[in-house]
Chain A
Amino acid sequence: MCANQKMTIALLGQPNVGKSTVFNMLTGLNQHVGNWPGKTVELKFGRLHLEDADINLVDLPGIYSLTANSEEERVARDFIIHEQPDMVVVIVNASSLERNLYLVTEVLALDVPFVIGLNMMDVAEQQGFDIDVNVLQAALGVPVVPLVATKNKGLKALMKAALDLADNPQQFTPNRPKLSPKYCCVLKEIQALIEGHIHLNYSPYWVSLKILEGDREMLEMVQQEHPGIWDQIQPILLQHEDAILDITSGRYGWIERMVRVGMFRPQRGSIALTDRIDKFATHPFWGILVLLTVFGLVFFLTYRIASPIVDWLQVRVVLSSANWVADLLSDSPAWFSGLIVDGLIGGAGTVMTFVPILILFFTILGFLEDVGYLARAAFVMDHLMHLMGLHGRSFLSMFIGFGCNVPAVMGTRIIEEKHAKWLTILLIPLVPCTARMAVIAFLAPAFFDYHAALVTWLLVILNIAILVLLGIATNHFIFKGVQSPFIMEIPLYHLPNTRTIGLYVWHNTLAFIKKAGGLIVVFSTIIWALSWLPNGNIHSSFIASFGRWLEPFGRLMGLTDWRIIVALFSSFIAKENTIATLGVLFSMREQSVTLPLRIASTITPAAALSFLVIQMLFIPCVATMAVIKQETNSWKFTLFSVALLLFISLLAGVCVYQFARLFGWGV
């Protein structure tokens, strides 16, 4: 081995095997995230130094197989086939050995050398499984290294085994499942047809096998690039439509033989702790109570911990730095100090106020995911979500939206299917976040007196009703009722790992600040500029002209005052800004205590109702918009969702106003 050898090692594994723990333990903070261009699947890249080697560790997505059913699977296998890492390490969960070995059989078919990291040995032992690693290794013909990643055991040995094999690939002599004789000839036929016509990186045997299995990407590849060959292959496939059944059965048969040799099973009869907890957590009735309690705690903790920090930040940091800078710039032109203080610091200030909320949410979310509870929560809500063509995981994201839409959108990463993820992201802005609720809470009492609570409750119900209707409609018309099957693995509960959670919080918060933060600052500056130009007076600014221009339309909704219209649009920066803008526009340096009453005296009850409805349904704030773009990687979709919400809110405003007028509230 030469000094400072550079190696790329890819980590592969099914979900819930502790692959992330392995990755985090080995790379610590030396990691960053990357996207395949044009795809939303993330790869994690990290670096570690071991003896003489500089290792680039790549964490591939957690996948059950290497068939092209999902973007994750395609990205993972494309990486192995086209990027050709020096070594592949497959992480296997010892307490779920049989099913995990399926992925191993897929990698065996790819004919690349690899080592197996047999993780969670402690969990397997607890369950009574006795695995003889040496016997397993001999039976498989693949190096097997036992690990307990959470306790940092075996990881060095794993990397060394990987480096050793990379240096001596000829030592790789695995045992492989044999294809049933029934298909041997068929496979040879297909292989003969495609030989010489496929990309060099692909092994003809593997491609033929995938074609026989009905792999969509391989089938499309042949169909599009070699239609002549496709015409010959198609009849063969039609004759063997059930090949996939036999092939998977064959693989599992082989797995069973391997496992029988190397593993001793416990006697049945002992109920795992997981099952005991799940008696309640996944119970059709108790499960929902548990879920509500857990989420109640989430909000409770947020208000108790994050809110005071947010307030402290707003006053001690943002406000005081704004004043301090304003003093510094008191000699410079008004537009400059305005730009810096109101535009930039105002913009950056918005970002700062989100961070404590995000940190707290990510910590709690990370904890619940690590412990294994989130799977149960998704399971419990699945039935309700099905109505919208969504699954339980979507509910989790949407529920977070009650606190703040920003982490809710970021949390949609846990949703696997793309269309479900995008539909959820589309619907999340309809979940009334605390900022929106704050505006309502501020204005409703002045507008509606003792009816304020009822009106607020109805507004929330209206939001949710529209959310459900939109979800059902979108799923029905746009996704044509596409339902991905509800199949979900429910992992064992396990003790939380501080390092995993810490890295999770760090990585996600940083990602928000970097990507979304920039956009927020830019937009805040633009809005400030519009409220300043052309001559520094907000009442004659572009944004005021914009507001006045909209007045005729506003009349349909009862909003005849340009100041109210402008305040509505300023909620684009942050929902709470509505109040701030109203304060500026209606001000004569009066206390905000009387602000709601002053506004109330200028509009009719019907108009007030319409204003609140629109405020609740209005376009997402710029931070939400920024993370929508970040999560979907599509300006088209982001702008579409903004336009859609604009349309829905205005339509609702018009309907509510006209309807309320019928009741004589327009006087």
Chain B
Amino acid sequence: MAGPYQPLTQIKKGCKAIVHHFTGGQALSNRLLILGFTKGAEVAVQQNPGFGPVIVLIRNSRIALGRGEARKVLVEEVNSE
């Protein structure tokens, strides 16, 4: 089984995760970095119905990512207390 990192698409609504790295091309990762998806940044999943785009709260902004894009963001889930 892969390490503790999973694609953002697997994090359920209401859960939080920490950004670790990206797969895929530079075009996407550059845009994500500029929007604050740096290593260690916390994202809170607002919406993830299992298909279609994902909405996350990051640095107090709501950002929607297409499913393909969200799949390329590898994160580590944070267990809430």
In the docked arrangement, what's the CA distance between A245 and B51, Å? 29
In the docked arrangement, what's the CA distance between A220 and B36, Å? 26
B66:A102 contact, CB within 8 angstroms = no
In the docked arrangement, what's the CA distance between A274 and B28, Å? 27
In the docked arrangement, what's the CA distance between A487 and B32, Å? 8
Interface residues of B in 11-30 (CB under 8 A from A): 26-30
> Which of A95, A248, A382, A492 meets B34, CB within 8 Å?
A248
Residue-wise, chain A 464-500 has the 8 Å CB interface mask toward B (1 for contact) of 0000000000000000000011111111100000000
Q: Does B45 contact A (CB under 8 A)?
A: no
In the docked arrangement, what's the CA distance between A466 and B23, Å? 36
Q: Does A275 contact B (CB under 8 A)?
A: yes
A283 to chain B, nearest CB (A): 8
A36 to chain B, nearest CB (A): 23
A382:B53 contact, CB within 8 angstroms = yes
* B69 (CB) vs chain A CBs: closest residue: A485
In the docked arrangement, what's the CA distance between A97 and B55, Å? 19
Q: Of B36, B47, B60, B68, which is in contact with the most chain A CB atoms at under 10 Å from its CB?
A: B60
A249:B69 contact, CB within 8 angstroms = no
**B28 contacts across to A, CB distance below 8 A:** 485, 487
A287 to chain B, nearest CB (A): 10
Q: Does A383 contact B (CB under 8 A)?
A: yes
B7 to chain A, nearest CB (A): 15
If A488-B63, A490-B64 touch, whether A245 touches B36 (CB-CB below 8 Å) is: no
If A214-B26, A382-B66, A487-B63 touch, whether A98 touches B31 (CB-CB below 8 Å) is: no
* A378 (CB) vs chain B CBs: closest residue: B64
Q: Does A284 contact B (CB under 8 A)?
A: yes
B60:A275 contact, CB within 8 angstroms = no
* B47 (CB) vs chain A CBs: closest residue: A282
B60:A98 contact, CB within 8 angstroms = yes
> Which of B34, B51, B60 meets A67, CB within 8 Å?
B34
In the docked arrangement, what's the CA distance between A488 and B54, Å? 10
A395 to chain B, nearest CB (A): 14
B62:A69 contact, CB within 8 angstroms = no
* B60 (CB) vs chain A CBs: closest residue: A96
Q: Give the total of B residues in contact with A, Cβ under 8 Å.
A: 33
In the docked arrangement, what's the CA distance between A379 and B32, Å? 18
If A98-B60, A245-B33, A485-B66 touch, whether A252 touches B41 (CB-CB below 8 Å) is: yes
* A247 (CB) vs chain B CBs: closest residue: B33
**B30 contacts across to A, CB distance below 8 A:** 67, 69, 214, 244
In the docked arrangement, what's the CA distance between A69 and B66, Å? 19
Q: Does A99 contact B (CB under 8 A)?
A: yes
Q: Does A65 contact B (CB under 8 A)?
A: yes
In the docked arrangement, what's the CA distance between A136 and B55, Å? 30
B41 to chain A, nearest CB (A): 7
**A485 contacts across to B, CB distance below 8 A:** 27-28, 31, 66, 69
If A284-B52, A383-B53 touch, whether A490 touches B33 (CB-CB below 8 Å) is: no
A214 to chain B, nearest CB (A): 7
Q: Does A64 contact B (CB under 8 A)?
A: yes
A98:B59 contact, CB within 8 angstroms = yes
If A64-B34, A98-B36, A485-B27 touch, whether A490 touches B55 (CB-CB below 8 Å) is: yes
Q: Does A153 contact B (CB under 8 A)?
A: no
**B60 contacts across to A, CB distance below 8 A:** 95-99, 127
A244 to chain B, nearest CB (A): 6
**B27 contacts across to A, CB distance below 8 A:** 69, 484-485
Q: Does A386 contact B (CB under 8 A)?
A: yes
A284:B49 contact, CB within 8 angstroms = yes
* B28 (CB) vs chain A CBs: closest residue: A485
B46:A248 contact, CB within 8 angstroms = no
In the docked arrangement, what's the CA distance between A179 and B29, Å? 20
**A252 contacts across to B, CB distance below 8 A:** 36, 38, 41
In the docked arrangement, what's the CA distance between A563 and B52, Å? 51
Interface residues of B (CB under 8 A from A): 26-36, 38-41, 46-47, 49, 51-53, 55, 58-66, 68-69
Sorted from nearest, which 9 A-B pairs have the closest CB atoms? A486-B66, A98-B59, A248-B33, A490-B62, A249-B38, A485-B28, A65-B34, A488-B64, A99-B59
Q: A245-B38, A486-B53 are in contact. List 8 more A-B contacts (CB 8 A).
A: A127-B60, A245-B33, A245-B39, A248-B34, A282-B47, A379-B64, A485-B66, A487-B66
